[in-house]
Amino acid sequence: MKKTAIFLFVLSTLLTSAWAQAPRQNYRQFFFNPYLYNSAFAGLSGNKELNVVYKKQLMGFKDAPASVGANLQLPTSGKVVLAFNFTSNTEALLRNTSMTGTFGYVVPIDKNQSLRFGLTGGIGLKRLNLTAEELNTGDPAMINAASANYYADGRFGVAYTNAGLRIGVALTELFQSDPFADEFNKFSIANLQNRTYSASYRFRLDQFERFAVEPYVIYHQAADKTYNAWEAAALAHFHNKVWTGVSYHQQKGAALFFGLDVMEKLRFSYSYEFPPFRSDVSTFSSHELQLTIRLGKNNDAAKPAYPSRSMSRFRK
């Protein structure tokens, strides 16, 4: 029992530190669904969409991190955007589940420019994934450690869009709470040091907009500066139907992208993340798949992700 208590104390300390300091975002495909990075980008496409994402890190490595999530984005006929998000992350003995809702507001500046805001709030649940055999020890400390711990989850983002330009700033942790507290209400306003900065621009290469190149940069800032990291990427788009690209993350290394739009109803994008260059587990790669299902017809009142500046001149 003494060994169990020591194990739980050390594990709780490590997990609490990791939860408090580690950056929230683990995905690589910012261009596909930027809402996962910044609440202000909710409803950016102008369509009602259901998005699904799955990521498996260090494929083949036992107890490697895995993430699965789904979000529903609902731009209205006015300036309001609503979104709902579910995310579940697992890593070794840890499972973290979050259920949130987002209220977004779009302030039009002119035909192609807008300022967007997004506020996300909800609850999260953190627990240790212990087997029935581990729970059957009768040790109260072990049973208590395996119980669910709820916490308040909140994010806020601001974004500026102008035709192909997107600039965003996001506060990715509004509340600070003890993941092993006995009561839900033991939380406070966080120090707001967990942030994500992003900038991208889509260059159209011909007057008919059949080809485009989209570079972007992201900077993740964490309360623990050891998690600070930048990421840069470039994509090539063909007829808005097929895209491919490459990115480099300061800590995770390089990744390749490939995606396809099927009849403007279904979109999917795949990311292959190469093994880290400097790592003891350098033989393991990571994989990420994102899927978008467009619901209903296009929302004519909402601004599309990349408003066209030239196609109307060539349509008959």
Share of the chain above pLDDT 90, in %: 48
More reliable by pLDDT, 189 or 46: 46
Element (H, E) at 72: strand 66-75
Mean pLDDT on 106-114: 92
Is the pLDDT reported for residue 122 higher than 80? yes
Long-range interactions of 222-227: CB distance < 8 A, separation 24+: 222/21, 222/22, 222/23, 222/193, 222/194, 223/20, 223/21, 223/191, 223/193, 223/194, 224/20, 224/21, 224/22, 226/21, 227/21, 227/22, 227/23, 227/251
Mean pLDDT on 141-148: 62
Confidence of residue 108 (pLDDT cuts 50, 70, 90): very high
Mean pLDDT on 119-137: 78
pLDDT digit string, tens, across residues 212-264:
999 999 999 988 888 899 999 999 999 889 999 999 999 888 999 999 999 88
- What's the pLDDT at 251? 86
Mean pLDDT on 309-314: 36
- What's the pLDDT at 1? 47
Alpha-carbon gap, residue 120 to 153, rounded angstroms: 8
- What's the pLDDT at 93? 77
More reliable by pLDDT, 202 or 314: 202
Of 153-167, 210-224, 291-305, the poorest mean pLDDT is in 291-305
Query: What are the chain's domains?
Result: 2-314 (2.40.160.40)
What does pLDDT average to over the chain?
Answer: 81
- What's the pLDDT at 208? 76
Q: Is-contact 44 30, C-beta < 8 A?
A: no
